[in-house]
A = this chain, B = another copy of it.
Amino acid sequence: MDGMRDIVAKNLRRLRHEKGWSQEELSFRAKVDRSYISQLETSAYSASVTMLGKLARALGVDAGDLLKR
Number of copies: 2
Min C-beta distance of A65 to chain B, whole Å:
7
**How long is the Cα–Cα vector from A48 to B2 in the complex, in angstroms?**
12
Task: From A5, A47, A49, A62, name the one whose CB has the most chain B CB atoms within 10 angstroms.
Answer: A49
Counting contact residues on chain A (CB < 8 A from B), the size range is 20 to 34
Once A4-B63, A64-B65, A67-B62 are accepted as A-B contacts, the answer to whether A49 and B52 lie under 8 Å apart by CB is yes
Q: Does A46 contact B (CB under 8 A)?
A: yes
Considering only residues 29-65 of chain A, those with a C-beta below 8 Å from chain B are 46-53, 62-65
For the A-B complex with A4-B50, A4-B63 known, give 14 more contacts whose Cβ atoms are closer than 8 Å: A2-B50, A3-B53, A4-B52, A4-B53, A5-B50, A7-B49, A46-B49, A47-B48, A62-B64, A62-B68, A63-B64, A63-B67, A64-B65, A64-B68
